[in-house]
Amino acid sequence: MTTLELQAWKNLLAESILQTDDIHLLKAIETLIKKERKPLVPPCQYTVEELRERVRQSLRDIENGNTQDINEVLKEMETW
């Protein structure tokens, strides 16, 4: 699709939106647009120091016996 074709298509869609009085259709379009515009952010971003601290804490947890048996983890996962 060329840039010109894309612009013509967008204009037709805009015209259709302006001509409708169907609130359900307008809400559905709004939902789609909001979903599309949502920024894609990685679920978490740790600094190197934060990662190192997490490793240190994990090692302390292991030393203190703060662990879970794999079977306990698998059983818990079944409830997710």
Contacts of 67 (CB under 8 A, 6+ apart): 61
CA distance 65 to 58: 11
How many structural domains are present in the chain?
1
The predicted pLDDT at position 12 comes to 96
Residue 11 lies inside a defined structural domain of this protein: yes
46-55 — which CB contacts under 8 Å span 24+ positions?
none
Residue 19 lies inside a defined structural domain of this protein: yes
Position 10 pLDDT exceeds 90 = yes
The predicted pLDDT at position 44 comes to 80
pLDDT tens for each residue of 24-77: 999 999 999 988 887 777 778 889 999 999 999 999 999 999 999 999 999 999
The predicted pLDDT at position 35 comes to 86
What domain range is 23 assigned to?
Answer: 3-37
The predicted pLDDT at position 60 comes to 97
Q: What is the pTM of this model?
A: 0.43
**Structure-token pair, residue 51:** 């990662």
